[in-house]
Chains A and B, each alone.
Chain A
Amino acid sequence: MVNELREAAGKLLDDGKVDLVIGWAKGSLPLASTPVFISSSDEADQLVFDSTCGNNLTVYFTKDNKKISRDRKKVGIFVKGCDSRSLVLNITEKQLKREDVTIIGVPCSGVIDTRKVRRKAEGREVLEYSQDGDTVTIKGKEFELSVPLEELLSNACLSCLRKDAEEYDLFIGEPRKFSGESDPYSDIEEYENLSADERWERMNEEYSKCIRCYACRNVCPSCYCNVCFVDQNDPQWIGKTPEITDTMIFHIIRNLHIAGRCVECGACERACPMDIRLLYLNRKVAKEVRERFGSDTGTDLDQKPAMADFREDENQDFIMG
């Protein structure tokens, strides 16, 4: 598969269809891949795709004053299912034009959460990682473990029903079609069943770990405000400390701001250096939006995000009681 994706990228560049390809390359650590920007076919051999490729590369269209869209006209981008939904969302929100991007889908079997790997290794450092089908082998000094991939997958991938891109120009291999089943949200059931006080306590527990590094926000393709509300200085909306009153407001408002815009890729949770379970709240809000408005974020180029759309026939009991 790796050869196919390198060839595809090289061909797009050689044919002049794109002048930049965004993909993943092997990272400097055994469990890490790293985003890479390829502008000529002889660099294409850096490209890889495997379960370490957790970054949602769509983020580069909206970050840094939209520099990529500004500097380059035609960009090719590799996408997993979730990444393609981010791209579609960004297109519906007019952050980029469909015709300016060549979408290359890759078959995704889920991406790993390095913390789960670390847990399996019981704190020992993982020095080698390899994958054979659904089995992952991790090695370190004086240990070797074989683990089913599923046990290492990012929480987001465990509930993912649309693993492959549905909107693409090219696909490496054969895309699996969305089965149409609906997400049971079993992962948040336990959370939902808690009392309000217990939920509050859980959120306190999670968000008190926050150090305000904004890695969650900055890797999120849906978070692209020119000036984020936490960065507003005059007037300043919220306090800047890493104390719970401030971090809670940051996370809740960010969460509400991506309501109906979150594609549940889990990039935020994987990026968090403090191991905060960000998906609890993201998935809870996504579930609410899905139940109320029936929309699947980022699956339809012609449909506005749920919270940016209004239809007379939609459920309005939140107003009418």
Chain B
Amino acid sequence: MKKIVQAKNVQKDFGSKGNLFRALQDINIEINEGEFVGIMGPSGAGKSTLLNIFSTIDKPTSGDIVIDGKEIMMMDDEQLSDFRRDRLGFIFQDYNLLDTLTVNENILLPLALAKVPEKEIEKRVEKIADSFGIREILNKYPYHISGGQKQRVAASRAIVANPSLILADEPTGALDSKSATNLLESLSNLNKKNSATILMVTHDAYAASFCKRVLFINDGKLYMELHKAEKTRKAFFQDVLDALSSLGGGHHDVI
């Protein structure tokens, strides 16, 4: 099976000598094509730092990262921009939709940036809008739609360019439980049907239970790994909760 992410001995330091803070230490992660991986951990564990590094908007202090066969440590700013545009899709907690663009335009933005022909753009946006159930709001502006709809638009934008890896940063963080379930099911479907590779950072055990595999980080180190395998989502949810309580500090984060 094709490996989408290979991270070896990733280390990230903040601050300077004497006042050094090690945010990540000896992180080794491999993610295969078609996986849906969750990353959990208490606040300050280094989840967001890790995601930023995979997103190529931050660089590790040392270590090797290969995403979709590309050594991202060797690329310069321009190449990284192109790489993000062509290979990565992003879903953020606060949606990050552009309020000057309609829903339709927000979704097609990555395609427009990649200069995909206009006919092709229309076809792909329609298809995705249908699968996320946002066809009726395509011509609305972001400030006219609900949070759940916004996050589905953001998800549509993330996958419209068929990225090799979708990175989701607390995608359900600002949603009510119904909208959250809705979004997670969409992501899960996307993963199953289109075998999209998704890496999701969350501190919500319920959200994590939709993943096929969950990694736990604590104090900048990989702490534990859970596989869903053939378990039901409910059973897996319980496993995640147990893991969190063993981590300590995670308690208050549970639902």
Do A and B assemble together?
no
